[in-house]
Amino acid sequence: MELELTGNASSVIPCGRVEHEMDPSRRAFVAAVVSVLAWPEDGMKAESGDGPAAPRNFIFFGRERQRISERAFLEHPHIVGAQLKYTWRELEPERDRYQVQPLLDDLAFLEARGKRLFVQLQDVLFSEEPVVPDYLRTDPAFGGGAARKYEYEGDDESGARFDGWVARRWDPAVRARFIRLLEVLGTKVDGRIEGVNLAETSVGFGESGKLHPRGFTYENYVEGVKATMTGARRAFPRSCVIQYANFMPGEWLPWTDRGYLRAVYAWADRIGVGVGGPDLLPYRKGQQNHSYPLIAARGRHTPAGVAVQDGNLGGSIPPRGNA
């Protein structure tokens, strides 16, 4: 399939229920390539019984939302729609004042041209740009609203570098406000949009505890992620909901396995939320040991979505000798 687009690809295995489970080895392969290929799933039949269901391909434009007007995208018959990012801060600039019109305008534009919208809702950013509304940052009840996250090489936290901001997902007060945003969006676009995906679970706070934000524990982070998934599912009963679950703080599989990531995937199966991740890196050991086997082993009614994002293509080349 030729694709003369410079946006990145993102695909979702359909959200409808299926009658037959795919062979596990086949499922693992499909999970690894759906972001770039419209690969038929021989073992999956749609609930309607009309035949096999195939991944649906979206172009990930991220926050370059103006690019949905490009002809190469609009005229391509194999691209279902666009995956666009919207940050919490821009959707709720002030407490209980929601600015949803830009999202509605994008949706109307796509609908008029026969394309679908998949919303990526950002409560995390990899920059100095604030990601949460100001009231969360200034009201002491929210503990600052967001926390600094870090990256570093190996186990050496002494060289930790600032890696952006993430909402305090483990904080019940902050989480309640995020779920309220989901509810507001649900009343306006549930059923009209193809789906909504929650940003990746991976955050870098180190293992020693020195970089841990106030009130953070590994366990309450897991529970916070699960509670947000539940809130999203309730807010969007008709549209697809996907949690990008790639890594979890406090474990590194297979050596340190506390069951955190597996708990997120089990919860997704239980409540009808899809799973996936932001990066298609089939030869990266981290993905091989974490999200990819869990995506492959997901419940037969659980949709999956994997996005090809910036920098992924270099990591998708087989290592020398393994082609």
pLDDT of res. 320: 67
pLDDT of res. 251: 96
Query: Which of 314 and 99 is assigned the larger pLDDT?
Result: 99
Q: What's the pLDDT tens digit per position in 97-141?
A: 999 999 999 999 999 999 999 999 999 999 999 999 999 999 999
CA atoms within 13 A on the CB side of 14: 18
Work out the percent of the chain whose per-residue pLDDT is above 70. 82
Query: Which of 106 and 313 is assigned the larger pLDDT?
Result: 106
Centroid of chain to Cα 270: 18
Catalogue all structural domains in the chain, each as residue range(s) with its CATH number: 8-315 (3.20.20)
Counting beta carbons within 10 angstroms of the beta carbon of residue 259, is it exposed (0 to 12), middle (13 to 18) or buried (19 or more)? exposed
Q: What's the pLDDT tens digit per position in 131-189?
A: 999 999 999 999 999 999 999 888 889 889 999 999 999 999 999 999 999 999 999 99
Beta strands 124-125 and 116-122: pairing type?
unpaired
Q: What's the pLDDT tens digit per position in 197-229?
A: 999 999 999 999 999 999 999 999 999 999 999
pLDDT of res. 318: 74
